Structure 1
Amino acid sequence: MTQTEGGLLQQILDYSNRPNPYPLYAELRKNPVHNEGTGVYVVSTYHEIRSLLHDPRVSSDLHNMTLPGPPRLEQPEDSGLPPSFIRQDPPEHDRMRRMTNASFGPPHSPRRIDELRGDLAKVVSGLIDGIANTERIDLVEQVSYPFPVTAICRLLGVPREDEPRFHGWADTLAASLDPMPGQDPTERNRLAQQARTELGMYFAGLIEERRKNPKDDMLSELSTRGGPDGTMTTMELLSTSALLLIAGHETTVNLITNGMLTLLRNPDQLQRLREDPRLAVPIVEELLRFEPPVQLMPNRTPLADIDICGVTIPKGSSLWLIAAAGNRDPLRFAHPDRFDPDRGDIQHLGFGSGIHSCFGAPLARMEGQLALSELARRLVNPRLLEDPPEYRQNAVLRGPRHLPIACDDIRP
């Protein structure tokens, strides 16, 4: 690799490039596998990423990363909790995911998500009703953040009024996913461990209460339901609950915000959605390709040497999959830098793929469709006040921190 190529990952992680990393992704794709010279192997092309996501030789367990490399995430057990199932490999991953899915979706709970649609439509409508100042709306603070937080709280059975308590823990744990060059990894891991411990203690109280007085929510079912795989231990319950709470809203905030930003930059598509709310379905799918809320998947590792495009990725090394680069691979998608909801084939990597594909995809899709269609319908002449807006620090969970917009009026 050349020195210039070796610096591309650092440029992607550099906050100054957060508003538009896509030209850097295009440079990455010129060589499907990059060795950054720091123990990191970066894969950026669609077919290679998808293949690795389905490859049983690729591990998500941090303990298998044995070669020297960049600073690692903290080990979850350092906080007293076991790793969540997204940080486990089969068979434990499969067992935990099956038990969690029994309370979330088909075949055991086939209507749980769909039955939320009416209530969630009222929630997003109420949030738009509450916008008082049409001259300056912060879409993140007023819609994109409170909507998915309310949704995941209802699904899990977490009191919505407790949001100020878990907001800080969620922010800290989401930030711990980001490599953020220059930050002291020891201090970052200490803060993440502390947040995970405190969030676990919070859920311990909720789970104890649900075991005594079950309700119609996921926490109650996870706490009391058994099945072919048995029941979760208390520690597994704490770890899984923390995962569902954080993953259940962090990425959807980005999906809605990136979605509205993209639609405002493409007013013809915004007008189409305003006239036909059914277009929310293909629009959300194209957004998951064009501006995915999860841009890269770091900290995977091969369990054996893997040859990709003439490069050997050694066992135990740090493997990063740049899903957002794969989503704009011209060898897979025609005119990949064009936002085109009319694509006939949008098999994107926005929710990953393989055994670790996004667990909450059905809920995220519903929330994105409801929020964007209602915003398009009700905001009269919406327009951006800042472009590009201020972005979050996080390169993994990339999205605007604020999205200031204005409109002439709000339709009933």
Structure 2
Amino acid sequence: MQMPADERPGTLLRRISDYASRADPYPLYAELREHKIARQDDGSYLVGTYHEIVALLHDPRISSDLRLRTEPPEREPGADDLPPSFIGLDDPEHERLRRVANRPFGPPHTPGMIDALQDDIAAIAHDLITPLTGRDRIDLVEDFAFPLPVTVICRLLGVPDRDIPQIHAWTTDIIASLDFDPGDQPELRRRTAFTARDAMAGYLADLAAQRRGRPTGDMLSAFVNDPGDDRPYTEPELKSTALLLLIAGHETTVNLITNGMLTLLRNPDALALLRERPDLMPAAVEEVLRYEPPVHLLPQRTPLTDIDVAGVTVPRGAPLILALASGNRDPLRFTDPDRFDITRADNQHLGFGSGVHNCFGAPLARVETRIALTQLLARLDAPRLAEPPPYRRSPILRGPRHLFLVQEAGG
């Protein structure tokens, strides 16, 4: 029997991208997993099963460089000619750029960086929550989940606190363009995103230039003063890397904190267990990463040759889109995958990807979310959802745009 036009596998990406599906895309992911891989009407291939996704993330025949597609994405006329960031490159350039970025951020050169930040992160969280404890209604996103990670990453990079509102505005414009179905005025969204990206890149390059020869202990300073044994960043490489770290360094964590609090409020048994057993918080964060991950789709993959995926031939240069959130709910990998279980064992989820392109900032995001949820549960007075949350437009970076909570009067 022929399927209705809006239920064909080739329309799955369009239906997932439809804003009407943003609050609950999981039935569509279940449909995708029935096919494992589905060619879309636009010529892309959508993959939704855990084992196939992991295999592709570790396959050297799969490129992260969009310029190698049969039809590479167009550049905006007049946009600053920035190279791809390291998440959009293959080795050896990916490895070199990532290694320079990692030098002031983690092992082996600065192994204690993330642990040393814990007290500062806790202090920032405390200061943000304090004015919320007496309020009947709060917006967890604007009041807490956004300012916490953006303050942390700005201080790591060396961006002054006074410039955070401008960073927020630029980031909002850039993220709004990450939508396969942008609705009205898609070209305007695209131009606005390029303008914001170029302005932010120039701003970050200027900050770094001010520190050349005058180290200040932040990451931008390290990029221009201490590349180690590697070739130093060119200015375009510096811009691309700084942009990536600033945007990815807070956007995914905003979603992770917000999705985590929302999921706990919707699962009171898990919330009660976590209050009783605060030692389960690290496992709870991992389960949030599986159950409601901040990144749902990974669109930046391209086969370098014809490949077979679950019996389907994906031609060289075709767009390959990995539905990480679908893989996280795959019953062939996870027992009872649609149940939120903070005691789940063997939770090797795809919340931060896998392979050589696994999330650069994963250790920091884990620490921030653990501290954030711990303080929220300890200090907010019996919070509950005021209303179903409106979601952000992007199907790639999925999370509530606002999360309105109410507390008991006089809390």
Query: Which position in structure 1 is the counterpart of 2:250?
Result: 249
User: What are the residue-to-residue correspondences of 1:11-410 with 2, within 5 Å?
Assistant: 11-67=15-71, 72=73, 74=75, 78-131=79-132, 134-182=135-183, 186-387=187-388, 389-408=389-408
Residues 77 and 293 from structure 1, CA distance in 2 versus in 1: closer, same or farther, beyond 3 angstroms? farther
Residues 255 and 153 from structure 1, CA distance in 2 versus in 1: closer, same or farther, beyond 3 angstroms? same
CA distance in structure 2 between the partners assigned to 1:409 and 1:332 by the alignment: 44
CA distance in structure 2 between the partners assigned to 1:51 and 1:409 by the alignment: 52
What percentage of aligned pairs have identical amino acids? 55
- Counterpart amino acid of residue 359 in structure 1: F
Residues 148 and 76 from structure 1, CA distance in 2 versus in 1: closer, same or farther, beyond 3 angstroms? farther
Deviates more, 1:304-313 or 1:231-240: 231-240
Conservation of the 8 A alpha-carbon contact between 1:74 and 1:192: no
Conservation of the 8 A alpha-carbon contact between 1:207 and 1:223: yes
Deviation at 1:176, TM superposition (A): 2.5
Conservation of the 8 A alpha-carbon contact between 1:257 and 1:399: yes
Deviation at 1:380, TM superposition (A): 2.0
Deviates more, 1:287-296 or 1:162-171: 162-171
- Counterpart amino acid of residue 25 in structure 1: Y
Cα deviation digits, residues 63-99 of structure 1 (max 9, x gap): 111159xxx4747994222211111111111110111
Deviation at 1:227, TM superposition (A): 1.9
Conservation of the 8 A alpha-carbon contact between 2:140 and 2:402: yes
CA distance in structure 2 between the partners assigned to 1:144 and 1:410 by the alignment: 23
CA distance in structure 2 between the partners assigned to 1:103 and 1:315 by the alignment: 37
Deviation at 1:231, TM superposition (A): 1.5
Deviates more, 1:286-295 or 1:269-278: 269-278
SS in 2 for 1:130: helix
Cα deviation digits, residues 185-215 of structure 1 (max 9, x gap): 5444322221221111101221111114321
- Counterpart amino acid of residue 399 in structure 2: G
SS in 1 for 2:113: coil
Scaled by the length of structure 1, what TM-score is found?
0.94
Deviation at 1:226, TM superposition (A): 2.8
Conservation of the 8 A alpha-carbon contact between 2:14 and 2:181: no
Query: Which position in structure 2 is the counterpart of 1:6?
Result: 10
SS in 2 for 1:256: helix
Deviation at 1:179, TM superposition (A): 1.4
Residues 316 and 183 from structure 1, CA distance in 2 versus in 1: closer, same or farther, beyond 3 angstroms? farther
Cα deviation digits, residues 249-271 of structure 1 (max 9, x gap): 00000000000000001112222
Q: Which runs of 4+ in 1 moved over 6 A?
A: none
CA distance in structure 2 between the partners assigned to 1:320 and 1:205 by the alignment: 35
Deviation at 1:277, TM superposition (A): 2.6
**CA root-mean-square deviation:** 1.9
CA distance in structure 2 between the partners assigned to 1:109 and 1:237 by the alignment: 20
SS in 1 for 2:293: coil
CA distance in structure 1 between the partners assigned to 2:78 and 2:309 by the alignment: 33
Deviates more, 1:168-177 or 1:35-44: 168-177
Cα deviation digits, residues 120-170 of structure 1 (max 9, x gap): 101101111021653211000111000001110111111111012221211
CA distance in structure 1 between the partners assigned to 2:265 and 2:70 by the alignment: 46
Residues 132 and 380 from structure 1, CA distance in 2 versus in 1: closer, same or farther, beyond 3 angstroms? closer
CA distance in structure 1 between the partners assigned to 2:227 and 2:400 by the alignment: 41
SS in 2 for 1:372: helix
Residues 409 and 274 from structure 1, CA distance in 2 versus in 1: closer, same or farther, beyond 3 angstroms? farther
Cα deviation digits, residues 345-377 of structure 1 (max 9, x gap): 110000000111100000000011000011111
Which residues of structure 1 form unaligned runs of 5+? none
CA distance in structure 1 between the partners assigned to 2:306 and 2:76 by the alignment: 24
CA distance in structure 2 between the partners assigned to 1:363 and 1:207 by the alignment: 22
Aligned length: 407
Residues 366 and 77 from structure 1, CA distance in 2 versus in 1: closer, same or farther, beyond 3 angstroms? farther
Scaled by the length of structure 2, what TM-score is found?
0.95
CA distance in structure 1 between the partners assigned to 2:77 and 2:372 by the alignment: 34
Deviates more, 1:137-146 or 1:226-235: 226-235
Deviates more, 1:214-223 or 1:286-295: 214-223
CA distance in structure 1 between the partners assigned to 2:272 and 2:410 by the alignment: 15
CA distance in structure 2 between the partners assigned to 1:410 and 1:92 by the alignment: 56
CA distance in structure 2 between the partners assigned to 1:139 and 1:73 by the alignment: 37
- Counterpart amino acid of residue 155 in structure 1: L
Residues 84 and 266 from structure 1, CA distance in 2 versus in 1: closer, same or farther, beyond 3 angstroms? same
SS in 2 for 1:342: coil
Residues 274 and 77 from structure 1, CA distance in 2 versus in 1: closer, same or farther, beyond 3 angstroms? farther
Deviates more, 1:173-182 or 1:244-253: 173-182
Deviates more, 1:132-141 or 1:145-154: 132-141
SS in 1 for 2:212: helix
